[in-house]
Structure 1
Amino acid sequence: MTTRVEIWTDINCPFCYLGKARFDQALAGFEHRAEVEVVHRSFELDPGLPADASGPVIAHIAAKYGISVEQAAANERGIAAQAAQLGLPYQTSGRDFGNSFDMHRLLHFAHEQGNQDRLVDALYAANFAEPAPIFADTERLVAVAVAAGLDETAVRAVLDDPNAYADAVRQDERAASQLGATGVPFFVFDDKYAVSGAQPTEVFTQALTTAWNDRPAPVVLAADEDTCGPDGCAI
């Protein structure tokens, strides 16, 4: 029996970038990591943005939180310092923001292809580690998805159909609301335990251990002496 971890995130979210890295560190050191299933869920930080909306992220942060551009830039440098501690590159200027709905649709497609985690990492890298804009740029989004191992024709087919995986994204967002998640990253372990935010690695280690140890033991409905064991079979 595996342990299932569902992670609600948005590619716009820098703390999701940090939180995934810390969770990945915990998972890499977890004794039963091969028996942990990770599923990435959709959460849009700003679902009301027009599909083609994009712009400089520092100015956007300043306007959204009512702070100065200088304060927003300082906040970005603080996040970059945290990223550096994890060995993650982080562009403190030149990044953009935008509507992430198409990215979430592609992540659902990638899940079907068994390639979701790789695409998440590729999208984070494209947004946080590289200066070129990623939002409202279909060609760059296609290039990132293809570099992550997805078929170009299939990727374009998903992006060309606005209904493809749209219901799956909305379902994830409804589930997040029902769970009481008002921000991301938000981690749920076996539908029992939740961790909110980009917590330290040891917090994720503890959550993995707790969920693993709390898995239900199988209930034996029938027993028979006609079984085989390490010492052979009953005769």
Structure 2
Amino acid sequence: MRVEIWSDIACPWCYIGKARFEKGLAEFAHRDEVEVVHRSFELDPSRAKGQTGLVVDMLAEKYGRTREEVAGMEANVAANARSEGLGYRTEGRDHGSTFDIHRLLHLAKARGRQDELLTLAFRANFAEDRSVFDDDVLLALAEEAGLDAGEARAVLADPEAYADDVRADEREASALGANAVPFFVLDRRYGISGGQPSEVFVQALEQAWKERPDTGLTGLGGEAAACDAEGACEVPRT
């Protein structure tokens, strides 16, 4: 079975959803027969490289909220992250273009280190005081993930390296009807949107394993928090 996961490093529900999916996968009897592939989805594809700013300012503008209200939203997301054993900084994080990160993730996929780099990038962005929008940080993360430093540096230096792969993933997401992330596709037959609880992933994996319809993509699970194509990230009500 193949599970494809569309996500963006700037999406907190992708960070949380990855952890929840992995918990569900760990409980799945056929987990050793599941191939997981991470695919690209930019929440803000129009943002230029180097155009960065604080997350709190971006959220305040997007939602039309005060900084105090945004702080409450971030605290709620942080509680969800920490309930999954994830670190989450509510202050001081920045926001920028994720295109270069996705290009490096495609290099990592080609070298069999994709999940390692994605895990490190999520952690750096949400839990650590390291900006993933800085090339030096990206190169350090690539090395930590086991990639060749020279090869990673060459990718960052060439804006067209793996660019077509990123765009192909995004076109595919659109064709599948994905307008929010995280978006999980099981064997190109079942789709799950949002950072669902781990038990939903267990049920979905079991169902997908047993039932193989001929065509179409069937939605599994109910509504769950996600980040949409406009870059807006839902926050559960308290």
Q: What is the TM-score normalised by the length of structure 2?
A: 0.88
Per the TM alignment, residue 215 of structure 1 is displaced from its structure 2 partner at its CA by: 4.7
Identity %: 57
- How many angstroms apart in 2 are the aligned matches of 1:165 and 1:175? 16
Alignment of 1:70-219 (within 5 A): 70-135=68-133, 137-215=134-212
In the alignment, the residues of structure 1 paired with residue 131 and residue 152 of structure 2 have an alpha-carbon distance, to the nearest angstrom, of 19
Q: Where has structure 1 moved over 3 Å in runs of 4 or more? A: none
62-71 or 15-24, which deviates more: 62-71
Determine the C-alpha separation between the residues in 2 that align with 1:74 and 1:145: 33
SS in 2 for 1:8: strand
Q: Deviations over 1:99-137 (max 9, x none)?
A: 0000000111111111111111000001001123221x1
User: Aligned to 1:20, which of 9, 15, 18?
Assistant: 18
- Measured in 1, the distance between the counterparts of 2:88 and 2:71 equals 13
Gaps of 5+ in 2: 214-238
Rounded to whole Å, the distance in 2 between the matches of 1:94 and 1:162 is 28
Shift of 1:17: 0.3
What's the secondary structure of 2:132's corresponding residue?
A: coil
Q: Secondary structure at the match of 1:194?
A: strand
Report SS of the residue matched to 1:58.
Answer: helix
Work out the CA distance in 2 between the residues paired with 1:73 and 1:133. Answer: 20
Amino acid at match of 2:194: G
- Over the residues paired in the alignment, what is the CA RMSD in angstroms? 1.0
3-state SS, counterpart of residue 187 of structure 1: strand
49, 52, 57: which one aligns with 1:51: 49
Q: Distance in 1 between matches of 2:74 and 2:64?
A: 15
Unpaired stretches in structure 1, ≥5 consecutive residues: 217-235
Aligned counterpart, 1:66 = 64
Report SS of the residue matched to 1:24.
Answer: helix
Q: Is the 8 A contact 2:3 2:34 kept in 1?
A: yes
